[in-house]
């Protein structure tokens, strides 16, 4: 058994680990000891104590990924007596070609990720929950002091953070295992056992008193969520926070009735009555645009190339109403010119319904999409966007002579009926709509999404049947 003594920090372990790798020391043949614990755990009979600093063997030259290097450095701050032997095991496996050790699916990899995650959480907590108190100028430096009990060895990391953000102010952070002192120019870290009394400061802190007053005033008992409070500010940190002394009483008062008074008493005591407002009247007023290109009734125009108007003869007796333009329609400015349009053309040929005799349009005139790599994927428009675009659909219904409207998909059907309409309840049925008629069917894109050829053909056949029925209704009127 080889005993390697190191300082209890990452740099010392790294240097010793590279030398051990150069000597091909297997993980199970090494006992890692820190200088602090060496005196308490003397080498057993037959053990060989190695001094990495005095070794004449050149350190091994190895390459690890940036991700693994970051994981090792963070995990080195995890408080565990066996952390150095475990990190060496990870490094050993990596250098011997077993790259799965850096994967969270591996047993050792999962442990490494768990350690690094715990340390990063401790880093976040220390930044969030360290509270400095200002000392009296008569006491001299440091100007600010703080006591904190971190879960892991993150003092050095946090000290660098505060040194970069507190200017030239001098400060001291004391923890049970060490302290960080900054004199305004130089940061000094010290390893030593400490007590909470080490940072005692009996001088009144005016800023702290102001903060306590502010915290009381912004605490709203009517909006208190105790689970959320304890999740974002764990109870174990309260003892180090000035406001921590206030929280239990504020929570108790909220439970005892203060929750019911979320406003000033004079406001809460005012009488009043409910005002009945029709849903239509509650909608915001929108200016009527003079052209489709200038329409700003919803926000879809911000990310679309252009508005896509309807296309076809004004005296067409049949209107085909889709959901919204697709990617190619958005670029070209014409409805149904993409893959779904090509399938619709085929369905119209099978139904013997020439495209030049129908009016093609969409319930929503701008392309709503979300990025997926370099592609723009269709995203279903919301009810507010459908209602905002009904201004243009109503104009098309009035200005064209269409007597039969074939709705392609549930969105188009909903846009006409003004409520949530299920496609299955209306599929291939003739539904009166004022002086017009609606025939509902699937959107061509639904057929394109079918993986099975038989299912696709069944969907296309349903579209053809709806188009034929529309032609029959038109011919009989």
Give the pLDDT of the chain (477 residues) as one tens digit per residue: 789 999 989 999 999 999 999 999 999 999 999 876 544 444 444 455 566 555 667 888 889 999 999 999 999 999 999 999 999 999 999 999 999 999 999 999 999 999 999 999 999 999 999 988 888 776 777 888 988 999 999 999 999 999 999 988 999 999 988 899 999 899 999 876 655 555 555 556 777 888 888 888 888 887 888 888 888 888 888 888 888 888 898 888 888 776 565 555 555 555 666 666 665 566 566 566 778 988 988 999 999 999 999 999 999 999 999 999 999 999 999 999 999 999 999 999 999 999 999 999 999 999 999 999 889 999 999 988 999 999 999 999 999 989 999 999 999 999 998 777 889 889 988 999 999 999 999 999 999 999 899 999 999 999 999 999 999 999 987
CATH number for the domain harbouring residue 315: 3.40.470.10
Among 89, 124, 159, give the residue marking a domain's end. 124
Q: How far is CA 302 from CA 215, 325, 390, 458, in A?
A: 41, 15, 19, 38
Q: In terms of Cα–Cα distance, which of 249, 268, 261 is closest to 221?
A: 261
Same domain, 386 and 450: yes
In a domain, 270, yes or no: no
Same domain, 177 and 221: no
What is the pLDDT at residue 324?
A: 96
Among 199, 227, 252, give the residue marking a domain's end. 199
What is the pLDDT at residue 241?
A: 85
Query: What is the rounded CA–CA span in Å between residue 68 and residue 60?
Result: 17
Same domain, 146 and 13: no
In a domain, 250, yes or no: yes
In a domain, 141, yes or no: yes
Same domain, 382 and 305: yes
What is the pLDDT at residue 38?
A: 46
Same domain, 66 and 170: no
Query: What is the rounded CA–CA span in Å between residue 104 and residue 117?
Result: 12
Helices of type H across 311-406: 327-332, 339-350, 383-399
| Residue range(s) defining the domain that contains residue 334 | 292-476
In a domain, 282, yes or no: no
Angle, helices 83-95 vs 107-129, to 10°: value is 130
- When computed from its CA atoms, the radius of gyration of the chain, rounded to whole angstroms, is 36
Q: In terms of Cα–Cα distance, which of 388, 431, 383, 424 is closest to 406?
A: 431
Structure tokens at 244: 């921590």
Same domain, 222 and 341: no
Helices of type H across 76-106: 83-95
Dihedrals φ, ψ of 50, to 5°?
-110, 140
In a domain, 230, yes or no: yes
Cβ neighbour number for residue 62 with a 10 Å cutoff? 12
Same domain, 36 and 62: yes
Among 97, 124, 151, give the residue marking a domain's end. 124
Query: What is the rounded CA–CA span in Å between residue 189 and residue 156?
Result: 7
Same domain, 467 and 340: yes
What is the pLDDT at residue 40?
A: 46
- Give one DSSP letter per residue of 187-245, joined into a string: EEEEE----GGGG---S--HHHHHHHHHHHHH--GGG--HHHHHHHS-GGGGGGSGGGG
How many domains does the chain fold into?
Answer: 4
Same domain, 55 and 189: no
Same domain, 150 and 8: no
Same domain, 317 and 255: no
């Amino acid at each position: 058994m080889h005993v390697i003594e190191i300082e209890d920090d990452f740099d010392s372990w790294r240097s010793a680990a590279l030398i051990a790798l150069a000597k091909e020391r297997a993980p199970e043949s090494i006992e890692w000891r820190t200088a602090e614990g060496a005196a308490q755990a003397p080498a057993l009979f037959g053990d060989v104590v190695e001094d990495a600093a005095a070794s004449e063997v050149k350190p091994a030259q190895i390459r690890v990924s940036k991700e693994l290097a970051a994981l090792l450095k963070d995990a080195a701050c995890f408080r565990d007596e066996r952390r150095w032997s475990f990190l060496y095991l990870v490094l050993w496996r990596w250098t011997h070609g077993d790259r799965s050790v850096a994967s969270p699916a591996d047993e050792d990899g999962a442990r490494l990720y768990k350690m690094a995650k715990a340390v990063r959480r401790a880093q976040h907590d220390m930044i969030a929950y360290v509270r400095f108190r200002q000392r009296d100028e008569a006491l001299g430096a440091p100007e600010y002091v703080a006591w904190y009990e971190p879960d892991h060895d993150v003092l050095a990391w946090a000290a660098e953070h505060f040194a970069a953000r507190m200017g030239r102010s001098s400060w001291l952070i004391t923890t049970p295992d060490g302290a960080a002192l900054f004199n305004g120019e130089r940061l000094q870290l010290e390893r030593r056992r400490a007590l909470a009394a080490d940072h005692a400061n009996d001088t009144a802190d005016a800023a702290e008193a102001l903060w306590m007053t502010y915290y009381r005033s912004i605490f709203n008992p009517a909006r208190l969520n105790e689970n959320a409070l304890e999740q974002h500010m764990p109870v174990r940190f309260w003892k180090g926070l000035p406001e921590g002394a206030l929280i239990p009483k504020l929570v108790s008062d909220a439970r005892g009735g203060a929750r019911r008074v979320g406003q000033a008493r004079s406001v809460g005591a005012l009488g009043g009555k409910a005002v009945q407002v029709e849903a239509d009247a509650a909608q915001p007023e929108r200016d009527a645009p003079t052209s489709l290109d200038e329409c700003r009734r919803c926000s879809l125009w911000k990310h679309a190339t252009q508005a896509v108007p309807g296309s076809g003869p004004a005296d067409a007796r049949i209107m085909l109403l889709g959901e919204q333009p697709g990617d190619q329609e958005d670029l070209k400015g014409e409805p149904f010119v993409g893959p779904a349009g090509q399938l619709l053309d085929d369905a119209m040929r099978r139904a013997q319904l020439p495209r030049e005799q129908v009016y093609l349009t969409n319930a929503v005139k701008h392309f709503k999409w979300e990025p997926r790599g370099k592609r723009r994927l269709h995203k279903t428009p919301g009810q507010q966007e459908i209602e905002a675009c009904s201004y243009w659909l109503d104009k098309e219904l009035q200005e064209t002579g269409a007597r039969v409207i074939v709705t392609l998909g549930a969105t188009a059907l909903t846009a006409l009926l003004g409520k949530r309409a299920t496609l299955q309840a209306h599929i291939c049925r003739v539904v009166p709509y004022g002086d017009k008629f609606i025939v509902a069917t699937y959107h061509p894109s639904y057929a394109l999404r079918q993986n099975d050829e038989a299912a696709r053909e069944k969907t296309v056949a349903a579209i053809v049947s709806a188009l034929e029925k529309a032609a029959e209704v038109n011919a009989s009127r």
